[in-house]
Amino acid sequence: MSVPDISPTSPDYLFDSVPAPAEIRSVCEGIQWIRLPLPFALDHVNCWLLGEPGEQVLVDTGVATSKSRALWQQHWGAKGADGLASVPEKLLVTHFHPDHAGLAGWFGEAGSQLYGSAVEIALSRSIWSRDDSEYAQEYARWYAENGIPEEAISQVLQKPNSYRLIVSEPPAAELWTCLEAGQVVELGGAQYRVLVGRGHAPDMLMLYRESDHVLIAADQILPRISPNVSVSTVLADQNPLQSFLDTLDELKVLPEDTLVLPSHGIPFRGLHARIGALQAHHEDRLAEVYQACRQPASAYDMFSVLFARKLDAQQMSFALGESLAHLHFLEHQGSLTRQSCDGVDQFVQVEQETKLDK
Ligand SMILES: [Zn+2]
């Protein structure tokens, strides 16, 4: 999931159209593209099918809705109303977000061998297991601490565990083969190096095919929008923007002609320019947030700085996470300091704080 839009940098797209929902489109040697609909403002996710029938690996699944299940049944055949007649031999899940991991349990039950990151698998299970009131209370507390208005807090208290609504029960940890950064794995008859992206999710898997420079980039590098980088109630990383920017730096060693297969948008070339644009985007945002903290300000106060449009309930939590990611980055850097005012966290420029104290 990703907000917000940033100005297009016209990457060199491989196609000028996207596949229809039931279409399987060949992207490059041994990799096919399936584009699944999503019931959000970001309306699709890309899944990749590696290898040939008999040795196929699906990368990511879409959310657990009847629409996604029906589309997968068109590819692999239906068994009963809700099952699959056949399956890809392997399923690799890049990270815990619902649009990527939503149907891991469903594919696992139907017989796919499961591949993922130990951290992401544990996170998916722990979020899925939270009961509704625990989940709502946690969000309400987080909203209140960050200055979100009472009306939005009472709305969030009515909400069930939204993760469980669009994710089928995540398979138990022992059912997965876990992959780690640096490992080389054979998937669908080709060798891929496992890379890990941090900041969008804690330990997101990416795959790099050295032989012909293909990067399955998950949500680390998207061609048109800036991947969501959020502080969250469920994540341990309190400075995810630093982690995200560090990962971008690490990816600069890949060759300029790398074909990037992003989880949202169209496959493209122009990796280094895109990394530069994402870095510049965050630098601009950090400067704006820093300026806005001349007076003590909450994360909610940053919404008008960072987001031009009105936010719906789902976007509210992304916006809060994204605002905090920028505030925490500046706090860790020593430019901002945090104080509590009537139970609300406020951030202020370090120099201004010294002046205000005098
Ligand atoms: Zn994601």
Per-residue pLDDT of the chain (358 residues; tens, 9 = 90+): 444 445 445 789 999 999 998 899 999 999 999 999 998 888 999 999 999 999 999 999 999 999 999 999 999 999 988 899 999 999 999 999 999 999 999 999 999 999 999 999 999 999 999 999 999 999 999 999 999 999 999 999 999 999 999 999 999 999 999 999 999 999 999 999 999 999 999 999 999 999 999 999 999 999 999 999 999 988 888 999 999 999 999 999 999 999 999 999 999 999 999 999 999 999 999 999 999 999 999 999 999 999 987 787 778 899 999 999 999 999 999 999 999 999 999 999 998 767 666 5
Short-list 229, 175, 176, 219, CA closest to 196: 219
- Chain Cα centroid distance, residue 213: 23
Ramachandran area for residue 186 (φ above 0: left; ψ -120 to 50: alpha; else beta): beta
**Residue 291 CA, ligand 1 centroid: distance in Å:** 29
**Residue 330 CA, ligand 1 centroid: distance in Å:** 24
Strands (E), the chain: 12-13, 25-28, 31-37, 44-50, 57-59, 78-79, 83-84, 90-92, 113-116, 176-178, 184-187, 190-197, 204-209, 214-218, 259-262, 268-269, 336-341, 344-349
Determine the pLDDT at residue 312: 76
Specify the CATH class of 12-128+162-282 in words: alpha beta
Determine the pLDDT at residue 52: 94
Q: What is the CA radius of gyration of the chain?
A: 21
Determine the pLDDT at residue 3: 43
CATH 1.10.10.10 in the chain, residues? 291-357
Determine the pLDDT at residue 4: 46
CATH no., domain 291-357: 1.10.10.10
CATH 3.60.15.10 in the chain, residues? 12-128+162-282
**Residue 101 CA, ligand 1 centroid: distance in Å:** 9
**Residue 3 CA, ligand 1 centroid: distance in Å:** 11
Are 231 and 321 a contacting pair, CB within 8 Å? yes
**Residue 332 CA, ligand 1 centroid: distance in Å:** 24
